[in-house]
Amino acid sequence: MSNLIRIIIASLFVIGTATLFWFGMWGWGILAVLVTILTWVTVFFNEKMLLAQWHLRKENMPKAELWLKKIKNFEKELVPAQHGYYHMLLGLIESQKAPLQAEKFFKKALSLGLHMDHNVALAKLSLAGIAMAKRDKRGAEKLLSEAKRADKNKLLDEQIKMMKSQMTMMDKQQFRYSR
């Protein structure tokens, strides 16, 4: 459904809600306010993306992937601010199936733009993990330091520390095998 139709429907809900309050139907008016808010949310956030994010939080990857696949043309269906998040969600789902294939999605998400710092940190942390899998220590270290800088609220602090310890273990193993 196009955003113009959503805006028209949401505007009609606003008018209907005001009418309910005008005639003193407070109970129905409060319910209508909630429906109106929900309608306006779908103007700015695609409901398929919201459902995919909800299923990802519940760790139900197949359903999240199903909702993302329902978005046929992301450039037309999503507002430009959601393009990066769409690719990031695809990257998170792909990283569960084939981690090395997820790299293109995370890079695309970063190039399209992610507005929240913790999402930038998550994308860079995921790319660092892929770089480690490819045995690119220098790239992984660079991405880890960028992820740490982007993680201002320390939401991914544990994961960053764990990945750094894995890198030091890899270095010790390589040193042992090189002798």
Q: pLDDT tens, 112-140? A: 989 899 999 999 999 999 998 888 888 98
SS3 label, residue 116: coil
Contact 119/85 with Cβ under 8 angstroms?
yes
| Joined tokens for residue 87 | 């690719």
Contact 71/86 with Cβ under 8 angstroms?
yes
Contact 52/67 with Cβ under 8 angstroms?
yes
Q: Does residue 166 surpass a pLDDT of 90?
A: no
pLDDT of 56 reads 92
Per the listing, tokens 């199903």 go with 66
The residue extents of the domains of the chain are 1-44, 45-178
Burial class (CB in 10 A: 0-12, 13-18, 19+), 16: middle
Alpha carbons 43 and 10: distance in angstroms, whole number: 8
Say what percent of the chain tops pLDDT 70: 96
Residue 170 or residue 122, greater confidence:
122
Q: Does residue 35 surpass a pLDDT of 70?
A: yes
Look at the pTM and tell me if it is higher than 0.85.
no
Contact 69/89 with Cβ under 8 angstroms?
no
Mean pLDDT score across all residues of the chain: 89
Residue 16 or residue 47, greater confidence:
16
Per the listing, tokens 């294939």 go with 101
Q: Does residue 2 surpass a pLDDT of 90?
A: no
Per the listing, tokens 């994961």 go with 159
The CATH superfamily label for domain 45-178 reads: Tetratricopeptide repeat domain (1.25.40.10)
